[in-house]
Amino acid sequence: MTAYPKESVAFTLDRRRNSRERDQDMPRQKHTVTKSFSNLRVLIVDDLPTNRKVLQLLVKKFGAQTQSCSSGEEALELLSSEEFDLILLDLHMPTMSGFEVGERIVASRSGKLPFLVAQTADETVQACDRTREIGFDAHLTKPIRPVKVSEILERINDLSASI
């Protein structure tokens, strides 16, 4: 990562698919964020601690405030007392799936926020269709790319400004 002023973050993205391609001397694509998203609150819901930590670090690099929890039940309890602009929700969790949590969040939201994003390794058409039917606003496939998180934060920032 390159050092920039406090309100900027730069990432180097490696779009090559396997280690052999990465080892070749190919140029890497950089993505620079010049906006700060310090006004945005993000809830990260994932049953795996490593996934939560990685997403939390990534979102914080963009300046957003984060909170995380490890289950759908915990997320719904937290949402009953706090407001978030964005929820990054793992779809495949034990006891209560992200699909079920998403249905409950969509049923209870009164406006365009919180912005609900599925985060999953499941790239099947069925999973994408189901999240769309439920009312998720976006679908991120793991591993999560910084540029995709940046694009989502940008959309929410614009959406928040228009409300």
Q: What is the pTM of this model?
A: 0.79
Low pLDDT (below 50) residues in the chain:
1-16, 18-28
pLDDT at 7 (0 to 100):
43
31 forms beta bridges with: 11
Q: Which pLDDT does position 12 carry in this prediction? A: 41
The helix or strand, by DSSP H or E, that contains position 141, with its residue range, turns out to be: strand 138-141
Alpha carbons within 13 angstroms on the beta-carbon side of residue 125 total 0
Residue 64 counted as domain residue: yes
Position 13 scores a pLDDT of: 42
Q: What's the structural domain count of the chain?
A: 1
- The reported pLDDT for the residue numbered 111 is 82
The answer to whether residue 133 sits within a structural domain is: yes
Query: In this structure, what CATH number is given to the domain that contains residue 110?
Result: 3.40.50.2300
Residue 4 within a domain:
no
Structural domain contains residue 74: yes
Q: Is residue 53 assigned to a domain?
A: yes
The 8 Å CB, 24+ separation contacts for 21-26 are none
CA distance 96 to 107: 16
